[in-house]
Amino acid sequence: MANLKQAHHELFRRGPDERYASLQELWEYCQRSKKQSLDRWHHPHQIAAHPLAAHLQVELGSDGAFELNDWSFSQLCKLASVSKDTVNRVSADTASRVFAETFPEGKKPLQFLTMDQSVRSVHGVAYTRLWDADLVMMIREFATDFQPPPAGFNGATGLYAGEQDIFCFLIDPTGWAEIDGQAFAPGFFVWNSEVGKRSVGMSTFWFQAVCQNHIVWDAVEITEFTRKHTANVHEALTEMRRMIETLVQKRDERRDGFVKLMRKAMQSTLGEDAEEVEKILAKNGITRALAKEAIEIAREKGRFTIFALVDALTRIAGKANFAGDRTDADQKAGILLALAT
């Protein structure tokens, strides 16, 4: 089992203005960005950088002048093969001359993604954009039972979007099922950047707990998919939809099996009296002291069913002072539950 920290890192790096309470709110933000953004294609000779007070702006042919944000400025420096740190240390007038002397020449156009009078990103012809809004819409359509985890200690939600990328952390809080005698629930991470900051990808998993730091504890069956923003990037939506459908199908199969197991555990008894039950518990590795305590708790249920005794062991585990004692009691409960199969 693994502890997953992707959502933990997002929790600490996102400010309140990048957090969203629901997929609907996240989609509305992404959809507005999509509608207000426009791709502008220009050849290198049509592009020029000019000083604007203490900043730079780029002139895109007949489309006019646009300001740069931190990300698009970084991309422009990369295209010109100049150090961003170096350009930041010189005046805007000197920086414009640096770009005039270093900006590449060529016949292939560049794509500038703009919103209002600002450049969101700069790419070559090989880049293909996958809109965040389209990704979130797919999640809303096919992951209907999934929702954000409980809010983190600082109010972070698990749903994030900023000018550079998005990240979604979703779980199914009702999807608990048994895997190897232990309870797990399904969840997944999804990420994308429509401005080229990161690839598009998804990670699905089954987990046992999520803490307020949004660390996913004891995850199993982890499956990850990523794709670069090239010509076939839109096929990523089909693959991620398939991953969600597979997760949901397995959840339903396991949940049905878990329900049947619980029903059988509620109907099956280990014995008619405490002495007989204690002997069976001893055969399954449960100490005499632990067995006696569990039997006393189960006696309140009226019958010594497997479920009543498993529930008793779970309660005992919850009261244990040491992690080792809790783990031992949980393991014994798992062994006992297996008797109902």
| CA–CA separation, 93 and 157 (whole Å) | 43
Pair 186, 175: CB distance under 8 Å: yes
pLDDT in tens, 25-83: 999 999 999 999 999 999 988 999 888 777 889 999 899 999 999 999 999 999 999 99
pLDDT, tens digit, for every residue of 217-228?
Answer: 989 889 999 999
Which helix (H) or strand (E) segment is 251 a member of? Answer: helix 235-267
> How do the residues of the chain divide into helix, strand and coil, expressed in percent and rounded to 5?
45, 25, 30
Show contacts of 280-285: CB within 8 Å, 24+ apart. Answer: 281/309, 281/336, 284/332, 284/335, 284/336, 284/339, 285/332, 285/335
Q: How far apart are the first and last CA of the chain?
A: 24
CA distance 167 to 191: 4
Q: Encode pLDDT of 283-308 as tens digits.
A: 888 888 888 888 888 887 777 888 88
Residue 322 phi, psi dihedral angles, 5° rounding: -115, 145
pLDDT in the model for residue 139? 96
